[in-house]
Amino acid sequence: MSDTYNAFVRSLSKPSQPKGPSAAYTPVHVIKALLVIESSKSVGRVMLSRTLGIGEGSVRTIIKRLQQQSLISVDSIGGCALTQEGRNVLSQIKKGMIASGQMDLSGMGIAYPAFAVQVRLDVKPSILKLRDVAIRWGAEGAIVFSASGRRIVVPSITDDLSQTSPLTYYELVNRFRLEDEDHVVAAFAPDFASAETSALAVFLYLKGIQ
């Protein structure tokens, strides 16, 4: 694990409320900003503000913070791009996130937009705690699917998803290449952006980053 990654994660524990009442953000916002910048060739402050759901003042501070740590570069018109160091740090952050994407939970009677993250970490997640994290980030709830041999288990709901919700089971096995003891955390919310942010927050919680 790189010294830069360790320094960056430690920096996230520092107060993230800059001076002024409107500039508030969290470690989840900082890391989601890196993910957004990674997925774009160049992204500006206005787009980041919309995507992260926070004010431009907060985004300006995040950009300055990431630039000071040499994780991003900023061009003359304000577009942000990851540096090589930024890509290295982000790859460490994403380690254990095997795949992610939008998910349809209608097979389980859930009509809300949902976003799922496949997790491969040596952890035994507390289902109630993960739901609490997701709800704190705007989700209506979260479901954890666990691969166990050839079965998919949903703790406290079913020991064999293929029997109780075959549509959801087939979506999982077709969308994700599951290995034994993998988990898929699906957060659902009134809007897709909140579902995505909630699922990311749960993943970061599992990695000890909040």
Question: From residue 87, how far is each of 31, 70, 77, 90, 125 by CA, in Å?
Answer: 12, 11, 22, 5, 28
Question: From residue 149, how far is each of 122, 154, 180, 182 by CA, in Å?
Answer: 16, 13, 6, 10
Q: Which fold does the domain 3-93 belong to in CATH? A: Arc Repressor Mutant, subunit A (1.10.10)
pLDDT (mean) for 75-90: 90
Task: Kindly tell me the number of DSSP H helices and DSSP E strands found in the chain.
Answer: 9, 7
Per-residue tokens: 187: 């957060």
| Rounded Cα–Cα distance for residues 147 and 28 (Å) | 27
Q: Do domains 3-93 and 97-206 have the same CATH topology?
A: no
pLDDT band at 20 (very low <50, low <70, confident <90, very high): very low
3-state SS of 3-28?
Answer: HHHHHHHHHCCCCCCCCCCCCCCCHH
Chain segment 103-134, per-residue pLDDT in tens: 999 999 999 999 999 999 988 778 899 999 99
Q: What is the pTM (predicted TM-score) of this model? A: 0.87
Q: What is the CATH number of domain 97-206?
A: 3.30.1360.30
CB–CB of 43/77 below 8 Å? no
| Residue ranges of domains in the chain | 3-93, 97-206
